[in-house]
């Protein structure tokens, strides 16, 4: 379905990003796997993808740093000739109530989760404009839509992604580029593994389907948006949350 397309997935060494990268490769895309710490996991994933018959490359870059994001996109262009699909997935949490949250913890979460989306889009979009096609898919969160106590930094960054997504969709729609966001609910990854069983049980009660999602649920939605099936969808936030926000 995506044969010959080039995809860049930020934060693809683990969790949701890993599942997204793998599904894109299964659909025939060549994939740039971005990571910042997990080099071994990134390389392993690349080998798995090459086994699927596509081209793949692991690139270390901290997306919160403008020049590193530039290098990440430049690597994709150099190696595979274009960037057709950009999935801005990299994200971190540094939770805490505002009374105790440090300025550093607020700023770092915004820098990675929101500036990271700007930094990568800033360098990929000009390539997409030139080729008059492209898909930008940003991973936000239900926390950015309804808020979450203990996450003013994270929710602010994720709400920022929603505004960025809608604005960019309006800017580049006439160039054949779609820009959408996916808002996961609670998905089983390292990010949610830190929650206690008691907290998990309480959270499940707030989900219509009464269970957490899997990274593949988000990856399937990315494939839907990145392929021809998503060609007339732009500026949207799609909740993949088992029924939390509606
Ligand atoms: P995760 O398992 O903690 O993985 C985070 C990924 O982001 C890792 O690959 C990590 O790379 C990468 N990363 C972190 N900081 C980075 C940076 N500065 N530059 C580049 N890459 C960086 O998280 P996840 O649960 O898969 O979450 C993925 C995305 O979904 C995030 O944006 C998160 O906010 C969002 N989300 C998750 C959930 C959930 O329930 N899990 C819910 C809503 C939204 P290294 O391995 O190299 O550190």
Q: Which of 9, 10, 15 gets mutated to test ligand 1 (max ligand atoms within 8 A of its CB)?
A: 15
> Is the alpha carbon torsion for 8, 14, 16, 19 positive or negative?
positive
Q: Which atom of ligand 1 is nearest to the CA of 93?
A: 34
- Quick: pLDDT tens for 104-148: 999 999 999 999 999 999 999 999 999 999 999 999 999 999 999
- Quick: pLDDT tens for 163-195: 999 999 999 999 999 999 999 999 999 999 999
Q: Could you tell me which residues are beta bridge partners of residue 213? A: 187
Q: Is the CB of 138 under 6 A from ligand 1?
A: no
CA of 143 to the centre of ligand 1 (A): 15
Mean pLDDT, all residues of the chain? 98
Nearest to 83 by CA among 59, 49, 64: 59
Q: Which atom of ligand 1 is nearest to the CA of 65?
A: 18
The predicted pLDDT at position 117 comes to: 99
CA of 35 to the centre of ligand 1 (A): 9
Q: Does residue 154 have an active-site annotation?
A: yes
> Is the alpha carbon torsion for 32, 110, 239, 192 positive or negative?
positive
- 35, 80, 106, 154: the catalytic one is 154
CA of 174 to the centre of ligand 1 (A): 31
- Quick: pLDDT tens for 8-41: 999 999 999 999 999 999 999 999 999 999 999 9
């Amino acid at each position: 379905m995506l044969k010959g397309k080039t995809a860049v997935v930020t934060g693809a060494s683990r969790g949701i990003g890993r599942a997204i990268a793998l599904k894109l490769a299964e659909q025939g895309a060549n994939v740039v796997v971005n990571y910042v710490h997990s080099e071994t996991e990134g390389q392993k994933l690349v080998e798995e993808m090459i086994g699927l018959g596509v081209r793949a490359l692991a690139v270390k870059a901290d997306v919160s740093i403008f020049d590193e994001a530039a290098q990440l996109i430049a690597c994709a262009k150099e190696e595979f000739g274009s960037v057709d699909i950009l999935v801005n997935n990299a994200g971190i949490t540094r939770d805490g109530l505002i009374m105790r949250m440090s300025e550093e913890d607020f700023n770092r979460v915004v820098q990675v989760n929101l500036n990271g989306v700007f930094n990568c889009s800033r360098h990929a979009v000009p390539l997409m404009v030139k080729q008059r096609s492209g898909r930008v898919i940003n991973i936000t969160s239900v926390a950015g839509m309804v808020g979450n106590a203990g996450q003013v930094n994270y929710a602010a960054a994720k709400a920022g992604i929603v505004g960025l997504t809608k604005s960019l969709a309006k800017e580049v729609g006439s160039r054949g580029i779609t820009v959408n966001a996916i808002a996961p609910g609670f998905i089983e990854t390292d990010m949610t593994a830190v929650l206690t069983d008691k907290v998990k049980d309480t959270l499940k009660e707030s989900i219509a389907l009464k269970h957490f999602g899997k990274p593949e649920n988000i990856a399937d939605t990315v494939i839907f948006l990145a392929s021809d099936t998503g060609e007339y969808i732009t500026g949207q936030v799609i909740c993949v949350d088992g029924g939390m926000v509606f």
